[in-house]
Amino acid sequence: MNHFFSKHRYVLLSALTIIVVAYLLVEFIVPEGVKSVEQFTAIRAEAQKTNLLQDDLKSPDELIAEYKKISSQIDSRINVGVTSSGILKNILETAASDSVQLLDLSTGERILQGKRAEYPVSFKATGRYRNFHDFVTDLENGIYCLKISSVDMEPSKGDVVTASVRMSILGKSGGSNE
């Protein structure tokens, strides 16, 4: 046996060295490499996010101008005079322009809640689905700020629907909305 070790000692030492190096690689170097790659990936992702934000930078003057534009749009919606007759007229005109036939249209008593007033409105309408969709979209994008509570649709002949809608027109309880 002693003769075997002396004859093959270089082969055995080489094999032992390879085993020790492989053990060190697996035990210490590979986990450190994985940690480094994870850190590098995280840093790279953060840098990419930062670059995306920097592409959309606006100067303070641009931000102020955009704020003023948005504020004026909000003010134009808030300061609209709200009356029951104005609401009814607007709904009738919008229905006519979108080829929707109103079967029933009514408003309730104004509800005051602090500085806010709600004008309940309910209507039943019939028309093609696409026309009804356009009608509701035009109401939402119209001059009044509104809150739609419910829309109940029932199919009729073809692509015609009959829908019952409950909504509220929102306004101020004082000033131009009286």
**pLDDT over 70 (residue 51):** no
> Which whole number is the average pLDDT over 10-22?
89
How would residue 176 be classed by pLDDT, with cut points 50, 70 and 90?
very low
Contact 112, 173 (CB under 8 A): yes
For 177, which DSSP code?
Answer: G
120, β-bridge pairs: 168
**Lowest mean pLDDT, pick from 72-81, 103-112, 165-174:** 72-81
Tell me the residue length of the chain.
Answer: 178
Task: Note the pTM of the prediction, 2 decimals.
Answer: 0.55
For 173, which DSSP code?
Answer: S
Q: What would the pLDDT profile of 4-15 be if each residue is shown by its tens digit?
A: 777 788 888 899
Rounded CA gap, 171 and 178, in Å? Answer: 9
Q: What would the pLDDT profile of 86-101 be if each residue is shown by its tens digit?
A: 888 999 999 999 999 9
**pLDDT over 80 (residue 31):** yes
User: Based on C-alpha coordinates, what's the Rg of the chain?
Assistant: 36
**Lowest mean pLDDT, pick from 17-21, 22-26, 100-104, 129-133:** 22-26
